[in-house]
Amino acid sequence: MNSEIIARLEQSLVQEGALDADSARTLDSSDLSLAERELLQRFRQLSRRQQNALVALIAHDAEMSATDD
**CA 61, CA 68: separation in Å to the nearest integer?**
11
| Mean per-residue pLDDT, 2-30 | 66
Q: What is the 3-state secondary structure (H, E, C) of the chain?
A: CHHHHHHHHHHHHHHHCCCCHHHCCCCCCCCCCHHHHHHHHHHHHCCHHHHHHHHHHHHHHHHHHHHHC
Q: How confident is residue 1, by pLDDT bands cut at 50, 70 and 90?
A: low
Q: Is the pLDDT of residue 62 over 70?
A: yes
Give residue 26's pLDDT.
62
The answer to whether the CB of 41 falls within 8 A of the CB of 27 is yes
Query: Is the whole model's pTM more than 0.75, yes or no?
Result: no
Cα Rg of the chain (Å, integer) = 13
